[in-house]
Structure 1
Amino acid sequence: MTGMDLSGTDLTTEVVRTPRLVLRPFREDDVDAVHAACQSPDIARWISSIAVPYTRADAEAFVTGEAPAARREGTGLTVAIEADGVLVGASGVHRIGQHPLGPEVGYWIAPEARGSGYAAEAAHALAEWAIGLGAPRVYLVADVLNTGSQHVARKAGFTQEGVLRSYLHYRDGSRGDAALFSRIPGD
């Protein structure tokens, strides 16, 4: 579906670098940092896959199970965002080969690292990575009320295409509208 050529690409070890960041596989020693970051009400508010409360066991399952599984299966490149040797967030290219809109980029940043441009830098680099492997487009969605994430998308070079009405499903059963953004080769 995506047109990406992953032949010869070992996603289990794939690392993407930017001038300030290392976007790398998660390691077991990341569990505590992921657990601490995901205590943020903002992360839990906008990312419905984050359990509430978010336990250390949840962080361990993500770091040692979910993130590496997507890499092994070739369906996602979930990365730890590392700046100056410190985990500052997570990002990823998800739904590789699974969605008609192409692969999806997502991100979250630990509260103490917000405002540094890390999310936009990671999202831009991962979009470039996917496009470089042949994706004709990548996309991301952000709740229409999440102006911070929409700012990140624009700063990362994504263009807003419109609004997907009632696209998001939240843990309380409510639904939300999502701003749809994309990047295509040449953007």
Structure 2
Amino acid sequence: MLDVSGIDLTTEVVRTERLVLRPYRPDDVDAVLAACQDPDIGRWIPAVGPAYGRDDAVAWVTREAPAERAAGTGLTVAIEADGEFVGSTGVHRIGQHPLGPEVGYWIAAGARGRGYAAEAAHAMAEWALGLGASRVYLVADVGNTGSQSVARRAGFTQEGVLRSYLHYADGRAADAALFSRLPGD
């Protein structure tokens, strides 16, 4: 069981060789809004849809992500490379899902192709496993071959397909490829 009782998730920062995975700041709103206007983010991230606007970005950055951290149910972080916001990642559903905590990620269009998503997902999995999680999982739309490749590069193994698991803001439902990492993977 992932034990976050001795950690202040509201201030927790994870670092990799190239990335700082840090709490969101109010000055991230514009970057989140710009990234979530990208049709590919809305296409593959269920909570983001074509109507995603400034109020949604403000809510995410200032209320929703901090609330998840304060409640101890997730470590949702901004991905920063060379001092610039490049995406989002996190460990979600801590103590809430039978598959264990869930790792998620997205990268802004201008920062894709540099390996940031795999590096961030690997770091988030290591963080959770290092705190005692017996497994972590992630899901990717079966049509999102890029995200599935990221999962594999981050050390995850595909276990199967969850039928009609994803429910998008525009009303679509889709199958999800299920990936996991275990301690020692």
Tell me which interval the TM-score lies in, with the shorter structure as reference length. Answer: over 0.9
Instruction: Show CA shifts across 1:76-97 (max 9, x none).
Output: 0000000000000000000000
Q: How far has the Cα of 1:126 moved from its partner? A: 0.3
Residue 79 of structure 1 aligns to a residue whose secondary structure is strand
Q: Map 1:34-183 onto structure 2 (within 5 A).
A: 34-183=32-181
Q: In the alignment, residue 146 of structure 1 is paired with which amino acid?
A: N
Instruction: Show CA shifts across 1:106-148 (max 9, x none).
Output: 0000000000000000000000000000000000000110000
Q: In the aligned structure 2, how far is the partner of 1:60 from the partner of 1:52?
A: 16
Q: How far has the Cα of 1:54 moved from its partner? A: 1.7
Moved more, 42-51 or 83-92: 42-51
Q: In the aligned structure 2, how far is the partner of 1:148 from the partner of 1:158?
A: 14
Question: Structure 1: which 5+ runs fail to align?
Answer: none
Q: In the alignment, residue 115 of structure 2 is paired with which amino acid?
A: G
Cα RMSD over matched residues?
0.8
Q: In the aligned structure 1, how far is the partner of 2:57 from the partner of 2:172?
A: 25
Residue 182 of structure 1 aligns to a residue whose secondary structure is strand
The number of residue pairs the alignment matches comes to 185
TM-score by length of 2: 0.98
Q: In the aligned structure 2, how far is the partner of 1:58 from the partner of 1:172?
A: 15
TM-score by length of 1: 0.97
Q: In the alignment, residue 178 of structure 1 is paired with which amino acid?
A: A
Structure-2 residue corresponding to 1:12 = 10
Tell me which stretches of 4 or more aligned residues in structure 1 moved more than 4 Å: none
Residue 172 and residue 34 in structure 1: after superposition, are their counterparts in 2 closer, same or farther (change >3 A)?
Answer: closer
Q: How far has the Cα of 1:167 moved from its partner? A: 1.1
Q: How far has the Cα of 1:173 moved from its partner? A: 2.7
